[in-house]
Structure 1
Amino acid sequence: MPDNGINVAGGSPRIILSEPTGSTAEVLLYGGQILSWKNERREELLFVSNKALGKPSKAIRGGILICFPQFVNFGLLEQHGFARNKLWSLDPSPSPLPSANNQSTVDLILKSAEEDLKIWPHRFELQLRISLSAGKLTLISRVRNMDNKAFSFTFALHNYFSVSDISEVRVGGLETLDYLDNLMHKERYTEQADAITFDSEIDRVYLSTPTKIAIIDHEKKRTFVLRKEGMGDAVVWNPWDKKAKALPDMGDEDYKTMLCVDSAAIEAPVTLKPFEEWMGRQELSAVSSSYCSGQLDPQKVLQGFS
């Protein structure tokens, strides 16, 4: 049977998920953050900075972070919202689980606190289900309005992928789409390339994106496939050398071995009436590119995943 364990390491409670083929995931209760995802060969698939601070009041740079109730700075709220800097709880009454063999799952919950209401005056419940199975890591997020008035929010799953060399990576599935360029004051442009490649800093919000995106790592001959529902946007970010050196919790060379491709709902905020619920789903798969008949063309890779 799949195994779930709770450890307290370095003062931070964490849950270890494992499944029969040998893959594992490590989840922190602080921030509901996924800090590690390893495949059956014990290869780490997520990036964590070698200078990650890990202070009790600060999220660790890397892994998968939950950005709620906003993704960008607005008003009194901090960058990427406060959910990533809160201690979550194990959900005592999660939604019913569908039957699934050889799957390891944990359910977390975050509820609005009085201190949060001072800066974001809306009562909510944020549930997060994290499921690990062979070759896949699935996150299901639910936001429920517990207030007697409507509210709006933006949301993102901030995914730090581990790559061999950023210059050898291509992202497929976003060609011909419009994007907002955060390096150009959020000006709107249209993607002209057949696939996104990297030779400088990038910080873009791609709009009206498909349900599948491929991150192809030529050197490792590995492809990540990101499937998403309920989150129409995708953020692509790499700080490159100057920005990496300016970030205190990131190593100078870290930008070479990481890429963020996020599932997000940013351009059109989600609005919930009293006691309404929103759900977003993300499934990550990591496969050898040889599974795609040796093809490293983004469109052919995506066509291989139903």
Structure 2
Amino acid sequence: MGQYAPVWDHKASVEVTKNSNGMNQVTLRNPQGASVLISLHGGQVTSWRNERGEELLFTSKKISKSSKSARGGISISFPQNGNGGSVEQPGFARNKIWTIEDDPPSLISFDTQGKSFIDLLLKPSEDELKFCPHVFEFRLRVSLASNGSLSLISRVRNVTGKPLKFSFAYQTYFSVSNISEVRLEGLETLDYRDNLCPKELFTEQGDAITFETEIDRVYHCSPNCIAILDHEKKRTYLIKKEGLPDTVLWNPWIKKCKAMADLGNDEYKHMLCVDGAAIEKPIALKPGNEWTARVEYVVVPSTLSTDDLSSY
């Protein structure tokens, strides 16, 4: 695939370029100035900015010598190969090169709600089909709305003659002012599996979650809307999900952060992972069937009340 010039219409734009590592990437922009950047290496969303140009996702400034991409953004964890859903078990999809279905993207596309989008495709190559146990087609749609909200829709189709079983997560690193000043609402009173204890089952208290130490949990049967409140930035992230019954919550904190090759010593302060996931009960697809999951990220002022948030 070559490099294409940006294509503009009266509402939005799409641009395909290369990053510093020579990897192809796609930028979607809306007329208000919001943007999303997607790398074809792993189908990873590496940037999401609002209309003022403020970055909403965390991406580490430190890159491991063994990695082609920085830790952060939104990664597709499929087929997840960890028992319990730790963010450290991402699966192989993030290391594959995805393709653009409409290549070159001659015109920007809009869905029925007026969102601009790009469709990516991942499937085993001819050589991989000789030994790959996972024969599938994975379609990922990344959409940017006029209000700046970001949506990802994943469709996995089983194209083999055997059942396909997998776990899944949208591994999402949110940018926060300071992890100690953030609280998370929506997981109160839920059961969760703690990957630090090791993987014991606990029940969350009735208060909003705050952060004072390392956390690595999978919450079961979680609600379809979760909120991250960042008081210093006066910003609330709403995470809306469909087809994803679990939520992974992760922050490495001080000791583990210092030991990680692709995180700066203090970067844990400015990130929080909240993943929409299907982990506790893996997805089982019969031959020819398709599974769909969706997540939407919306940013609203933290000054809004709970009743106001329900309208988004």
Q: Do the aligned partners of 1:214 and 1:301 also contact (CA within 8 Å) in 2?
A: no
Is 1:79 aligned to 2:85, yes or no? no
Is 1:12 aligned to 2:18, yes or no? no
Q: What CA distance in whole angstroms lies between the structure 2 residues aligned with 1:4 and 1:18?
A: 7
Is 1:66 aligned to 2:79, yes or no? no
Q: What's the CA shift string for 1:277-303, capped at 9, x where partnerless?
A: 00000000011112x1xx4xxxx2685
Q: Do the aligned partners of 1:59 and 1:85 also contact (CA within 8 Å) in 2?
A: no
Q: Which amino acid aligns with 1:3?
A: S
Mapping for residues 129-168 of structure 1, pairs under 5 Å: 129-133=141-145, 134-168=147-181
Mapping for residues 290-301 of structure 1, pairs under 5 Å: 290=303, 292=304, 295=305, 300=306
Q: Do the aligned partners of 2:30 and 2:148 also contact (CA within 8 Å) in 1?
A: no
Mapping for residues 42-121 of structure 1, pairs under 5 Å: 42-53=53-64, 58-72=68-82, 79-92=89-102, 98-101=111-114, 103-113=115-125, 121=133
Mapping for residues 114-263 of structure 1, pairs under 5 Å: 121-133=133-145, 134-263=147-276
Q: What CA distance in whole angstroms lies between the structure 1 residues aligned with 2:289 and 2:19?
A: 37
User: Sequence identity of aligned pairs in percent?
Assistant: 52
The aligned residue for residue 45 of structure 2 is: 34
Q: What CA distance in whole angstroms lies between the structure 1 residues aligned with 2:213 and 2:279?
A: 24
Q: What's the CA shift string for 1:224-248, capped at 9, x where partnerless?
A: 0000000000000000000000100
Structure 1: stretches of 5+ with no match in the other structure: none
Point out the more displaced range, 108-117 or 135-144: 108-117
2:293 pairs, out of 277, 280, 283, with 280
Q: What CA distance in whole angstroms lies between the structure 2 residues aligned with 1:71 and 1:236?
A: 17
CA drift at 1:135: 2.6
Say what the alpha-carbon RMSD is for the aligned residues.
2.2
TM-score normalised by the chain length of structure 1: 0.90
Q: What CA distance in whole angstroms lies between the structure 2 residues aligned with 1:26 and 1:81?
A: 22
Q: What CA distance in whole angstroms lies between the structure 2 residues aligned with 1:51 and 1:115?
A: 33
Higher helix share: 1
TM-score normalised by the chain length of structure 2: 0.88
Instruction: Quickly say closer, same or farther: Cα 1:264–1:119, change in 2 above 3 A.
Output: farther
CA drift at 1:187: 0.6
Is 1:304 aligned to 2:310, yes or no? yes
- Partner SS, residue 183 of structure 1: coil
Find runs of 4+ consecutive structure 1 residues off by over 6 angstroms: none
